[in-house]
Amino acid sequence: MKIRVGQGYDVHRWVEGRPCILGGIEIESAKGPLGHSDADLVCHVICDALLGATNLRNIGFHFSDKDPQWKGVSSTALLTRVLEMIREKGWKVGNVDVTIILDQPKLNPHIPAMQANLAQVMAVDLDQITLKATTSEGMGFVGRGEGISAMAVALITAE
């Protein structure tokens, strides 16, 4: 069996009045991440980790924010396409581990719904998706409420 590991990192600015979609789930919040797509940075970091593990560059290469076809698109659709790409190369998801860094809103009550949604989108078992939320303890752009960041690690396997 062959295995590979990839990592992803993403940052988005918070803006007033924009929906906060994370892991394909809308989270109640006065602010949401700014982006060309729906700005779901949980899906974005998973995409980057999977693309990196497969040596297929990154999300911006495949879904440019200069391309109008991706304007407002659901990031779960981008994730679905990335999964097709890695499967075309003979790989499958082993597991993904995501850490979301933000001080507000609190995500722990939403993690089970996000995990279940991602498992469905990715066609994997719940225990193959780990989601964690942490704060920045009030420091930096995240602590000042200016933005949100996330990172992910993905393991992929092939026979």
Query: Which residues are known binding-site members?
Result: 10-12, 36-37, 44, 58-60, 63-67, 134-137, 141, 144
Instruction: Look at strands 129-134 and 92-101 and give their pairing.
Output: parallel
Annotated binding site for a divalent metal cation: 10, 12, 44
DSSP label at 89? T
E runs forming strands in the chain: 2-16, 20-22, 25-27, 31-33, 92-101, 129-134, 147-158
